[in-house]
Amino acid sequence: MLVLGIETTCDETAAAVVERQADGQARILSNVVRSQIDEHARFGGVVPEIAARAHVDLLDGIVASAMKEAGVGYGQLSAVAAAAGPGLIGGVIVGLTTAKAIAMVHDTPLIAVNHLEAHALTPRLTCALAFPYCLFLASGGHTQIVAVVGVGEYVRLGTTVDDAMGEAFDKVAKMLSLPYPGGPQVERAAAGGDPTRFALPRPMLGRPDANFSLSGLKTAVRNEASRLEPLEPQDISDLCASFQAAVLESTADRLTVGLRLFEERFGTPRALVAAGGVAANHAIRSALQDVAAKAQTTLIIPPPALCTDNGAMIAWAGAERMALGLTDTLEAPPRARWLLDANAKAPAGHANSRAGY
């Protein structure tokens, strides 16, 4: 089975061709990603209108490169998959409409993939992991703990009640005048800082649910920063180190609870899987390693290029759905919001536009 996957939900324009063999083994034939970081950097964050226009300009060429690199003709495709949400609606429309046009012209089945499902299924692309497993997804738009029970069977065990984790890193970077995207900058600055200099809050610590909260912590950083103005480089490093330490402690606690909730409902997870840009953070990786070891499970973090947004994960999710006969019609709608777990309710006190709980 050969599937073309298209990803345009945020600031990466991406396309890939993935092959799924009858035994479930996968092969990535091409995976072309064009990040729009340069277009957005001077605004300190992703500007939806600029992203949508850039997707329009870039996508045709990126799809053509992915097909060429894979050495595949449109007539050979078993399906074309696009991320139909959740995400910035302008970009989603560009990717989904392109996929529909290809599906129509080449009489190929369309698969409208949930972007979060694609993140959730990525470890099966990279290491043939069996169900059920526990996913920790932490990106600029999402912070969730999800029980991945089967294709199309997801149970959200925890989510952020306010900011996404990557978003909090980006906002802290911005208030300390570090460039966008802030996550790697904060990690770098933290390496030379004192994590104990500022007594920042540990959000949600000890709570029986597995939810996250990051906006209070971010505000605490802002308060310390304005108290110290003007900031010396050491202040910035110490603030970053203290912020990261608080995120680590809170994340370890929330995931420990999440894994316990998982165990109660689904038995021992085959693995704890981390995905999303924040999983690139070395300090967070080692905290996750400890959490997994304590819960007697294995930590799997797909390679960085497959942890962050890419077309291969969309193609793979499309292939997994196609293998179960789950195709969509050309009426499939683009969706700004699209819960992975249709039964999940917004947590109490939820107040965020970007986190897309």
Residue ranges binding ligand KG4 (CB under 6 A): 10, 139-141, 166-167, 169-170, 181-184, 187, 276-278, 280-281, 308-309
Q: Could you tell me which residues are beta bridge partners of residue 261? A: none
Q: Which is nearer to Zn ion, 235 or 309 (CB)?
A: 309
Which residue number places its CB atom closest to Zn ion? 309
Minimum Å gap between C-beta 166 and ligand KG4 is 2
CB of 245 to Zn ion, least distance (A): 26
Q: Which residues contact 175 (CB under 8 A, 6 or more apart)?
A: 221, 222, 225
3-state secondary structure of 325: coil
258 contacts: CB under 8 Å, gap ≥ 6: 134, 136, 145, 157, 158, 210
Q: How many CB atoms lie within 10 A of CB 40?
A: 20
Nearer to Zn ion, 157 or 164 (CB): 164
Closest CB to ligand KG4 among 289 and 327? 289
- Report, in Å, the least distance between residue 241 CB and Zn ion: 27
Report the residue number, 91 or 132, with the smaller CB distance to Zn ion.
91
Closest to Zn ion by CB, 87 vs 158, is 87
- Which among Zn ion, ligand KG4, none contacts residue 258 (Cβ within 5 to 8 A by kind)? none
Burial 218-254 (b: 16+ CB within 10 A, else e): bebbeebbeeeeebeeebbbbbbbbbbbbbbbbbbbb
- Stretch touching Zn ion by CB under 5 A, among 27-35, 57-65, 132-140, 148-156: 132-140
Nearer to ligand KG4, 103 or 240 (CB): 240
Which sign, positive or negative, has the C-alpha torsion 305, 309, 312, 316?
A: positive
- Rounded Cα distance between 352 and 343, Å, is 19
Write the CB contacts of 168 (distance below 8 Å, at least 6 apart in sequence): 214, 215, 217, 218, 247
CB 98, min distance to ligand KG4, A: 19
Q: Minimal distance in Å, beta carbon 17 to ligand KG4?
A: 21
Cα of 319 vs its chain's centroid, Å? 19
Q: Which residues pair with 35 in a beta bridge?
A: 12
In the complex, the smallest distance separating the C-beta of residue 139 from ligand KG4, rounded to whole angstroms, is 3
Comparing every residue's Cβ against ligand KG4, the nearest one is: 183
166 binds, among Zn ion, ligand KG4, none (CB under 5 to 8 A by kind): ligand KG4
Nearer to Zn ion, 77 or 340 (CB): 340
| 11 touches Zn ion (CB under 5 A) | no
**SS3 for 248?**
helix
What tokens appear for 205 in the block? 């610590």
**Nearest-approach distance from CB 170 to ligand KG4, in angstroms:** 5
From the list 11, 224, 309, 320, which residue makes contact with Zn ion (rule: CB under 5 A)? 309
